[in-house]
Structure 1
Amino acid sequence: MSRVTIAQPDVTLTLDMDGVIRGVALSEAMTGEAVQDWVGRPWAETVGTVGVDRVRSMVNDARTAGVSAFHQLTQRFPSGLEVPMEYTTVRLGGQSGLVAVGKNLQAVAELQSRLLAAQQAREQDYWKLREIETRSRLLFDASSEAVLLVRADTLRVVEANPAAIRSLGIAPGWEVLKEVAPRDQETVETMLLRARRLGRVPGIMVRMGPEQAPWTMKATLMASDPAPVFLLQLAPVGLAPDPVPPEAVQLEEIIEQIPDAFLLLDRQGVIRRANRAFLDLAQAGAPSQVIGESLDRWLARPGATLAVLLGQLQQHGSVRLFGTSLTGEMGAEAEVEISAVLGTGAAADSVAVVIRDVSRRLAPAPSDDPLRLALSDITGQVGRTPLPALVRDTAAVIERHCIDIALQLANGRRTAAAELLGLSRQSLYMKLNRYGLDAESETGRDGDG
């Protein structure tokens, strides 16, 4: 015969029909309290202020329905101890009274308090980590030393600080080994393998960047998600860099000041250099937002993409007035014309691009244009007139407009107008009659040729 263990309530109160306590029983966990003083007192007088109404509700529910719902309240013991309890009240048979059984919620309350404290501590730790991350980001961006974060499995750049972008022209997504001189690539691979085993290795000298200048490279392996990364610190070799020629400084200033957008791309269309005018077109706040990105990210017109532009460059070496549209980061669109040329000699891997905003030049015709107004009336019939009728009316409006323009160019001479339109005189006369233009061009009807 199986045994069934029945948990004893922590507090059992025997009540009369008015809610006055007639008997009290405590579990072993609650012994030591002189609860006999409760006998003869209303149950509502032994609980906290908030629990008074709940006690009255449980007593009324038990009297009318036989059992009450569970309610939480604070039970005050004669010793002054206050314990959170959960009670339900049951009516006994006939007028025998009521029984209220309660469970001690002190352990649950302590558990909830601990959980709340743990949540608060976790939130404080989270904000401390955010503060540390923010400080690290500020140091990363403000460092005058070129710093790269490179994925250990693919050796692709995950992040590059502004100093690295300015000095080396390296941006996120690039393969770091391709920026290293071929004779130093094996040395860099060996150094990274040692860094993977040891965590950190001393610096070595490598040649990298567009000018293949010497740099000191240090590598540190760091844990990251989804894969470990190498922290590469790069410092130029030598006490002072070679002075920049004044002509180069002036050229840089001019490129920044020209009103047209100027870009320097690699052969795959990835941006290596961008002036302020392009940042304005692309609605980007800083060069780091566009450097390392493909120009195709902002070209929006189908059939006039970066692939088409690069294909024409490969075929002809240069492209002029390549028409397309450009969409900025905030959604603004502009009609643009692109001129580009492939680099030669030392710049053979580069593409120079000039982008001009021609939106004003291609602005739509004024709203008082007769042809535009007539076509607007036809488009307003969409949904109310069958498509074949709309096409026929559109063709008639355009035909009438062309005839009118030809007559103006020919100063009303019908024979000359017919030649401009590639029509015979008889065909022109029929169309003039159809559109009511014969009265307007009465001069020169005969012998106007």
Structure 2
Amino acid sequence: MAALPTVQPDITLLLDMEGVIREATLSPSMGGESVDGWLGRPWVEVAGEMGGEKVKRMVDDARVTGISAFRQINQRFPSGLEIPMEYTTVLLGGRAGMLAIGKNLQAVAELQSRLIAAQQTMERDYWKLREIETRYRLVFDASNEAVMIVSAANLRILEANRTAIEALNSPRRRNEDIAGRELLHDIAAEDRDAVREVLARIRERGKALSILVHLGPEAKPWMLRGSLMTAEPGHVFLLQFTAATDLSASKDKAEPSTIEELVEHLPDSFVALDETGIIRHANQAFLDLVQLGSKASAIGESLGRWLWQPGADLSALLSNIQRHKTVRLFTTSIRGELGTETEVEISAGTGEGAPGQIGVLLRNVARRLPSGSESDFLRTALGSMSEQIGKSSLRQLVKNTVGVVEQHYVKQALELAGGNRTATAELLGLSRQSLYAKLNRYGLDDKEPDAEETPED
């Protein structure tokens, strides 16, 4: 019978029943190390600071059951080198002692390190890809042109920006998704053959000259140009539609209103809302504030979409305008599409000559907020909580922090509602009884109820 191949352990330790090393043998792969200094010393002492407890368990398990489970320790050698090792301990016959067998895990540790490095590289690449995708989406949606990505196989629309969606839909179905629709169905019948020819030339040559086509239910004129792109699972057309301008009509058109030009070039943000808070007009400064690339992305959206407290702030603003016709020094925060937050001061009003319309001016006050503002008060109060670390339990720290924040927002809501308890409770989503309890707790119930409130309030 052929001899079976044997594998020599990297470290073999002969121990007595007390766990003292009597002999130590190293494999040739570890011949550079000398372990003569281990002889006569307990194994626990040479196992390193973190491995002593594991060694003790292996020795105890071998005495009781005859063999211990595999355990990993960082073995420190007399030269100072630390190597990750995996040991098991076996009881010798006749209670002659124990044998500790160790395997070098350095290669495994290096492999794990490489795996972690590869995972981190993949994660960085993923976030870079997400950043590129975000930029592409912003450019795609911000374009004033109607842009579509159309399958070259069946001419169905795969993706379209907001301008394209509005061009192909009727005013009543303005925001309806057009993905999956066949492009030719939305092109005027007399233009379809010309579009097919252009797409055929694009498929052959990669691009073609622009042509005039009519799109959507209103058959408005657009200049079409396109190119061919490679994508999974096949090729796609990138089509760009530019609104065709009637030059003769534009000459006869009246000059833009001087007031509109002034509003458009204001350094402060301006929006015109309807009575429900939907944006009907916005100047360029507002688009910059909320980080949008085109007015089409803002028109038809609620102003509350960008407010720090979308529901509460807009409701409070509209409520005050409805009651007083004007609002001044209304402080809040605007959160842009890319995540930036800006402290703003709002002035708004409506007039008899424009029923149902509200003009809103938003001024960036982040650089001139006084140090004694409410936001600074909240930051200071929360900052002082860190001084209690180590002096109070985590539960007490959380409880105190919640109390500071709760007091701040109850006070803010009370001021926004002009002291009206019922309106304050609605802003905070509380019952009046819960609100009264909090006012008493924080010493804020020092005003008489407004005349608008019922006697129960």
With normalisation by structure 2, the TM-score equals 0.51
1:221 aligns to what? 228
Unaligned runs of 5+ in 1: 247-255, 260-277, 286-449
Alpha-carbon offset, residue 218 of structure 1: 2.4
Amino acid at match of 1:180: I
CA deviation map 1:5-59 (0-9, x unaligned):
2221111111111111111111121111111221111111112211100001111
Matches for 1:12-411 after TM superposition, within 5 Å: 12-169=12-169, 171-198=178-205, 200-210=206-216, 211-238=218-245, 242=249
Amino acid at match of 2:199: L
Alpha-carbon offset, residue 81 of structure 1: 0.9
Instruction: Look up the SS of the partner of 1:18 in the other structure.
Output: coil
Instruction: Look up the SS of the partner of 2:150 in the other structure.
Output: strand
Q: Distance in 2 between matches of 1:145 and 1:17?
A: 85
Q: Distance in 1 between matches of 2:248 and 2:158?
A: 27
Judged with a 3 Å threshold, the aligned counterparts in structure 2 of structure 1 residues 51 and 33 are, in CA distance, closer, same or farther, namely same
Alpha-carbon offset, residue 225 of structure 1: 4.4
Judged with a 3 Å threshold, the aligned counterparts in structure 2 of structure 1 residues 195 and 10 are, in CA distance, closer, same or farther, namely farther
Alpha-carbon offset, residue 196 of structure 1: 3.7
Instruction: Look up the SS of the partner of 1:12 in the other structure.
Output: strand
Instruction: Look up the SS of the partner of 1:23 in the other structure.
Output: strand
CA deviation map 1:192-221 (0-9, x unaligned):
3343455x3144213121454443322233
Alpha-carbon offset, residue 239 of structure 1: 7.4
Kept in 2, the 8 Å contact 1:147–1:234? The answer is yes
Alpha-carbon offset, residue 131 of structure 1: 1.6
Judged with a 3 Å threshold, the aligned counterparts in structure 2 of structure 1 residues 83 and 189 are, in CA distance, closer, same or farther, namely same
Alpha-carbon offset, residue 172 of structure 1: 2.5
Amino acid at match of 2:196: E
Q: CA RMSD in A?
A: 3.5
Alpha-carbon offset, residue 235 of structure 1: 1.2
CA deviation map 1:144-182 (0-9, x unaligned):
111011122221112221112233438323211223344
Alpha-carbon offset, residue 227 of structure 1: 4.6
Alpha-carbon offset, residue 137 of structure 1: 1.1
Q: Distance in 2 between matches of 1:204 and 1:238?
A: 15
Unaligned runs of 5+ in 2: 171-177, 255-272, 277-299, 306-457
Q: Distance in 2 between matches of 1:29 and 1:197?
A: 65
Instruction: Look up the SS of the partner of 1:208 in the other structure.
Output: strand
Identical counterparts, % of pairs: 50
Alpha-carbon offset, residue 185 of structure 1: 2.6
Judged with a 3 Å threshold, the aligned counterparts in structure 2 of structure 1 residues 33 and 205 are, in CA distance, closer, same or farther, namely same
Judged with a 3 Å threshold, the aligned counterparts in structure 2 of structure 1 residues 10 and 257 are, in CA distance, closer, same or farther, namely closer
Amino acid at match of 1:143: S
Q: Distance in 2 between matches of 1:240 and 1:72?
A: 82
Q: Distance in 2 between matches of 1:55 and 1:31?
A: 23
Judged with a 3 Å threshold, the aligned counterparts in structure 2 of structure 1 residues 13 and 195 are, in CA distance, closer, same or farther, namely farther
Instruction: Look up the SS of the partner of 2:75 in the other structure.
Output: strand
Q: Distance in 2 between matches of 1:189 and 1:127?
A: 39
Instruction: Look up the SS of the partner of 2:95 in the other structure.
Output: coil
Judged with a 3 Å threshold, the aligned counterparts in structure 2 of structure 1 residues 28 and 191 are, in CA distance, closer, same or farther, namely farther
Say which one has the larger Rg: 1
Judged with a 3 Å threshold, the aligned counterparts in structure 2 of structure 1 residues 240 and 72 are, in CA distance, closer, same or farther, namely farther
Judged with a 3 Å threshold, the aligned counterparts in structure 2 of structure 1 residues 26 and 194 are, in CA distance, closer, same or farther, namely farther
Instruction: Look up the SS of the partner of 1:147 in the other structure.
Output: strand
Judged with a 3 Å threshold, the aligned counterparts in structure 2 of structure 1 residues 237 and 180 are, in CA distance, closer, same or farther, namely same
Kept in 2, the 8 Å contact 1:168–1:208? The answer is no
Q: Distance in 1 between matches of 2:64 and 2:241?
A: 83
Instruction: Look up the SS of the partner of 1:78 in the other structure.
Output: coil
Kept in 2, the 8 Å contact 1:180–1:206? The answer is no
Instruction: Look up the SS of the partner of 1:158 in the other structure.
Output: strand
Judged with a 3 Å threshold, the aligned counterparts in structure 2 of structure 1 residues 24 and 153 are, in CA distance, closer, same or farther, namely same
Q: Distance in 2 between matches of 1:33 and 1:258?
A: 83
Q: Distance in 2 between matches of 1:231 and 1:182?
A: 21
Kept in 1, the 8 Å contact 2:202–2:208? The answer is no
Kept in 1, the 8 Å contact 2:141–2:161? The answer is yes
Judged with a 3 Å threshold, the aligned counterparts in structure 2 of structure 1 residues 237 and 92 are, in CA distance, closer, same or farther, namely same
1:249 aligns to what? none
Kept in 2, the 8 Å contact 1:205–1:214? The answer is no
Kept in 1, the 8 Å contact 2:12–2:100? The answer is yes
